[in-house]
Amino acid sequence: MTDLGIDHDARLPYYEQLKQLIVREIARDNLEPGHLMPSEAEMCARYGVSRTVVRQAVGELVNERVLQRMRGKGTFVAKPKLSEQFMESTVGFFEDMTSHGHSVSSSVLSIDRVEVVGRARELIGAAPGTHCIEIVRLRAVNDEVVAFTKSYIARDDEAILTQLRAADLATVSLYRILSDQFGLRIDTGHRSIEAVAASGMLTKLLEVGPGDPLLYIESVARNAAGDVIECFLAWHRADRMRIEMDVVRDSRSSAGVDSLSHG
């Protein structure tokens, strides 16, 4: 991998030296994201270190997002994570990603009138038996699948359903369509996020392994009057996405105290 080797007389642990060698190699040879790295056995032979050393070095570089493991394929130079603005914004996923220069596309799996149940009914605050429009999509950024989403338009309107089915939701923002065509403008909202493990159909849809980490997001969007326009449930690949947010002083803060803690 490089003509430099492990200094067995140095006080720096072998795994830390190996980490530095790998990072130096990536920079020196301008290795692109997606470049396949040598196997554990190859690194052991090349540097005269044990598998334990290699695994610790590579594991820490994976945690630091320098490298990326792909189940059954090997270890690669990591791609930079896509950033989604989480707070202080009413734009949707499409507008957020395209504003940062990314190409966004969606595979629309279904658009139907459904009885809203479970968590979606709780988020909308709908009575039992209420119907709405459900849009199920697989979202891709720069031709790579990153999220599976279920959006619920809090309207039981056949005209809206018909026009949404005719719209190009594969390449156009849902929020823009709701605003421009139906006057359903989103002014405020609330989002929450938690870590979950991939299982069932999500592993196939998102091309991840069972137990791999996902970012699960719930969102409720409202108009100026406070009426729910839309809510969504989304599962994002944690290895490809990160959430960014701005922190502001809370008006409830006492003088000289910022409400930035977890308390």
Q: What is the pLDDT of residues 159-189, one digit of tens each?
A: 999 999 998 887 788 888 899 999 999 888 8
Residue 231, pLDDT score: 94
Examine the pLDDT at 124 and tell me if it is beyond 90. yes
The ranges assigned to domains in the chain are 14-77, 82-244
Q: Are strands 82-85 and 241-244 parallel, antiparallel or unpaired?
A: parallel
CA–CA separation, 190 and 214 (whole Å): 20
| Residue 94: C-alpha distances to residues 61, 71, 103, 198 (Å) | 31, 29, 9, 23
Residue 248, pLDDT score: 59
Name which of 152, 132, 149, 133 is nearest 141 in CA terms.
Answer: 149
* Higher-confidence position of 217 and 1: 217
Is 82-244 in the same CATH topology as 14-77? no
Residue 200, pLDDT score: 87
Residue 156, pLDDT score: 94
| Residue 202: C-alpha distances to residues 193, 210, 218 (Å) | 17, 9, 16
Collect all residues with Cβ–Cβ distance below 8 Å to 63 and sequence separation of at least 6.
none
Class of CATH domain 14-77: mainly alpha
pLDDT mean over 251-263? 44
Residue 250, pLDDT score: 57
Residue 114, pLDDT score: 93
> What fold is seen in the domain 82-244?
Chorismate lyase (3.40.1410)
CA dihedral 26, 32, 34, 35 (to 10 degrees): -50
DSSP E strands in 72-166: the ranges are 74-77, 82-85, 104-115, 131-141, 144-153
Give me the chain's average pLDDT, please.
81
CA–CA separation, 152 and 135 (whole Å): 6
